[in-house]
Amino acid sequence: MKAEPDYYVVLQVDARAETEVIEAAYRRLAAKYHPDVNHSPEALQRMKLINAAYAALSNPEKRNAYDLSRTGYHRQKEPAVTTPTRGRPWWLLVAAVSTIALALRFSPRLLFVLVPLLLVVWIFWNRGAPNSG
C-alpha cells in the first residue's frame, strides 16, 4: 500500500503555516506545474497532488483531520489577528511617559528608580497577554 504524501511537503510550507501562506504556496506551484504551462509528462500528476494538498490544507476542518491522522496532533483554532496593545489601557503609556518627563524636569536621579519600576509594572501587566510574533 502506498503511503499518503505529506501535503505540507507537497506545498513546500511549514506545518504551522497560516492559511494565507498555504494559499500563496498553492498559487505559486499551480502557476509552475499547471499542464497548460508545464508540458512535462509528470505535470498532470504533480498538479493533481498539489490540488489534493490544497484541498486538505485550505479548509480548517479538513486540515484538523489531516493533522490528526498525520501526527496525532489536533490543531488549535487559529487566533484572531489582534493589535499588540489590544486590551491594554492607553492611559498606562501616557502615565509612564508623563512620569518620566516630570522626573527629567525636576530630578534626573529619580529616573534610576522610576524607569525600572515602570518596566516591572509593564511586565506584570502584560504577562498574561498573548504574544504577537
Q: Where are the domains of the chain?
A: 7-71, 80-133
> What amino acid is encoded at 109 in this protein?
R
At 97 the pLDDT is 80
Looking at domain 7-71, what is its CATH homologous superfamily?
A: DnaJ domain (1.10.287.110)
The pLDDT, as a whole number, for residue 58 is: 92
Say how many CA atoms lie within 13 Å of 25 toward its Cβ.
22
Predicted pLDDT at 88: 62
Contact between 125 and 88 under an 8 Å Cβ cutoff? The reply is yes
pTM to 2 decimal places: 0.53
pLDDT at 24: 94
Residue identified by cell 499542464 is 35
List the grid coordinates of 68. 490528526
* Confidence (pLDDT) at 1: 43
**Confidence (pLDDT) at 116:** 83
pLDDT in tens, the chain (133 residues): 456 788 999 999 998 889 999 999 999 999 998 888 888 888 889 999 999 999 999 999 998 888 888 776 555 555 555 555 455 667 777 777 887 787 778 877 777 787 788 778 777 777 765 555 4
* Whole-number Å distance between alpha carbons of 76 and 86: 21
Cβ–Cβ < 8 Å for 100, 111: yes
pLDDT of residue 53: 93
What gap in Å lies between CA 79 and CA 34, rounded to an integer? 33
Q: How far apart are the first and last CA of the chain?
A: 41
CA distance 123 to 75: 29
pLDDT value of position 115: 79
The predicted pLDDT at position 76 comes to 58
| pLDDT at 111 (0 to 100) | 75
